[in-house]
Structure 1
């Protein structure tokens, strides 16, 4: 124990800590046999889209999306654009696009971004959508305030919304009680009233269990007439009472009469009960084709810093620790 305290005290300065870590990593990589192939460079993704959710708002649809950027200027502005799914402007016909400013923005960080002296900012968008327009795809235009404008459109493929026939509705759902394992999570989904599904269900998996063994299951949702229809959608609900652990990931699936299925995928129970920012004003333009302004560039998944790892190297480090 005395020797452990001596070792820890010898690294109590930032310079000593950095030097020691550098030496350990150098020894680690020199231990890896020369025949081991390291992975390709792992690059910082300059534009990271998260938290995408098309759901039921009041009294229409609501769309939410977050985008995390690496900032090169304190004067950066971000605009989200999208195409309608229905109507005369479907898929940005006649160059019709909708756009809005973010509801909120906040700095974000990680040990890597701090070490590499990177400035990251997350922008959150929340917009109302008319059900007879909906949304088919979206993208972002980034003005860095220094003469540089970039279009983040998933390398020309856009960020697509696959369907709007079945939607998870966090605002009508209820979270699991924190201290009681007997109470389940109440899940609500919205299904278009023009649809007559043969089955609506949740396919779920829980990983953070007491014994660290993942559990999974399916739970059928039933039509809930006590919740009034909104924007042409009926609500289906159920309570999942199985012990799934601290968190649950799930898909909401609607099986059609012809046997095909539609799904709202990769949802988390942690979305339930979260307060979303106020919706922002929706604007329209026909100034340019879908994809951004003239002269803008597509964002590739590349960044100013890179690092490589290998499974063997990590194994050596784990053994050393």
Structure 2
């Protein structure tokens, strides 16, 4: 299938607009909340965690010692995990089975251990370890100048090792071709995927002493032999191979038994590496792009790598259904819940808006949040009773390397609106006015408004506490107390807190999801309309509170109410929220 860059400008314009319409249709189909889409989208585009902000200080970052490329280690880990895919049986693929396979010779090396450690605290309830590995590949390509690889989510983590399937440099060409065939790649695609995977990075003599000689001047004893001279994600791996200047140890090593790249690249007589344009397509090819179908063309190389690396990370077992491509939402509610701060019941929301980088925010821009009461005389905005919060706290979200490559900044508008339990919040929406005479924009979740899922049980992280556990000297454990509120008029038959973590030190099995009872403390004052409940939790995660909590209350009539995916980063954080209190008025809309 001809690639976009090979078409005439008119055809290119048509295709670009078709793709734009396609992605806009995906965004328009989105409805908040989406428990699966939202965390995946935020992990890919919105920084703020150790994993998502990994390349913020230094793009295409290297380790401190030895100076290996982080991104190359992440891509290697992804391929070694994905290599277990078997098209015959529809099994294996990118499923985090690599966590159970590190004792194999094919997965040797400090780079694999480094990558595993980098990903350790990134998974959560809705983003699996396998999804994190896939996102790591997207980040790796983007941060080193490569293509932005389309990402789909929904991978499931394997709980045991997969078959041994990674090709070894010492194996013959026929074995390599067969292994890649089982993974779903043709011989031509094998050549391309190996070139894309080796576009940057190195081989350690400490891992492959028969391939790379140690450097007596290298005090680390690691010994690095790089695949090419560019140190970026580009087609130098191909151009240096074709012009005979390559330093790729898998091509030029004196030990010919281990020169697997040489065998693979030349397996079709170098046709794929220096492919020319088929004569039948000359009539639609731009004249001066005569080498477009060759890896000597940077554009063709990038497009090939985008396609093949996406295929690689999308290789999953047949019983796994991936999402659509996760695209950046131009406007998004990143949080919305009722909570308590300093005996004040608050409706807390954050609206995220995307805008081009280095764009000045209009001085007259105003962002307002509006909502209908859920309860009481004026429920559902009866009598044109509409609440409005104005003057949000303004800021920005940290970016990821993908967001920066897209040229996008993510603005943050935070509201903390005082409310009454007797009125509460039903649906809410936002109005954006640029103050330049243009028509205001209404952000209302596609027309129906954003519906707050529950007010029967609320999460109160700012009354929750974290205290270091002095008895645990092996890890930085904490004694945690989580506080929740349940509406006073309810008579629960049970109330529970479910803590979820997928990142315990040393744990590579199923996610840890202990369920704990919430105890009622009637003598403690939470806020008018809500009763105080709490549960203790011992956190044995050594690098912060990288887990979430779910709350559930069961009633005598069989009804249940849940609060899902409560974040734990704001424990003991009430001092921050009470500075964000919004001005609230009541009117008939945008008045």
The bucket for the TM-score relative to the shorter chain is 0.7 to 0.9
Quickly say closer, same or farther: Cα 1:188–1:7, change in 2 above 3 A: same
Alpha-carbon deviation of 1:115? 2.1
Relative contact order higher in (CA < 8 Å, ≥ 6 apart):
1
Higher mean alpha-carbon deviation, 213-222 vs 103-112, is at 103-112
Give a deviation string over 1:201-245, Cα, whole Å, max 9, x none.
112211111124321110001112342242121111110126466
* Contiguous gaps of at least 5 residues in structure 2: 1-222, 234-295, 316-321
Rg larger in 1 or in 2?
A: 2
Contact 1:100 1:281 (8 Å CA) reproduced: yes
Match of 2:454 among 150, 163, 167: 163
Quickly say closer, same or farther: Cα 1:198–1:10, change in 2 above 3 A: closer
TM normalised by structure 2 equals 0.43
Q: Specify which structure has the higher proportion of strand.
A: 1
Residues 164-179 of structure 1: pairs in structure 2 closer than 5 A: 164-175=455-466, 177=468
In 2, Cα distance between the equivalents of 1:70 and 1:81? 21
Pair 1:184-2:468 in alignment:
no
| Partner in structure 2 of residue 230 of structure 1 | 527
Alpha-carbon deviation of 1:31? 5.0
Match of 1:194 among 457, 481, 489: 489
Pair 1:142-2:432 in alignment:
yes
Quickly say closer, same or farther: Cα 1:116–1:54, change in 2 above 3 A: same
Alpha-carbon deviation of 1:186? 0.5
In 2, Cα distance between the equivalents of 1:244 and 1:33? 32
Contact 1:215 1:244 (8 Å CA) reproduced: no
Quickly say closer, same or farther: Cα 1:189–1:33, change in 2 above 3 A: closer
| Partner in structure 2 of residue 69 of structure 1 | 353
Contact 2:497 2:549 (8 Å CA) reproduced: yes
| SS, match of residue 514 in structure 2 | strand
| SS, match of residue 184 in structure 1 | strand
Pair 1:207-2:511 in alignment:
no
Match of 1:54 among 327, 338, 350: 338
Contact 1:207 1:244 (8 Å CA) reproduced: no
For these two proteins, the number of residue pairs brought into alignment is 282
| Partner in structure 1 of residue 214 of structure 2 | none
Residues 195-274 of structure 1: pairs in structure 2 closer than 5 A: 195-213=490-508, 214-241=511-538, 243=540, 246-274=545-573
Residues 14-33 of structure 1: pairs in structure 2 closer than 5 A: 24-29=301-306
Give a deviation string over 1:7-56, Cα, whole Å, max 9, x none.
25688xxxxxxx9985653332465899x999966543110111222112
Alpha-carbon deviation of 1:3? 4.4
Contact 2:463 2:572 (8 Å CA) reproduced: no
Contact 2:367 2:392 (8 Å CA) reproduced: no
| SS, match of residue 155 in structure 1 | helix
In 1, Cα distance between the equivalents of 2:555 and 2:413? 36
In 2, Cα distance between the equivalents of 1:10 and 1:45? 29
Residues 4-23 of structure 1: pairs in structure 2 closer than 5 A: 4=226, 7-8=229-230
| Partner in structure 1 of residue 581 of structure 2 | 279
Quickly say closer, same or farther: Cα 1:2–1:185, change in 2 above 3 A: closer
Contact 2:369 2:388 (8 Å CA) reproduced: yes
In 1, Cα distance between the equivalents of 2:490 and 2:571? 25
TM normalised by structure 1 equals 0.76
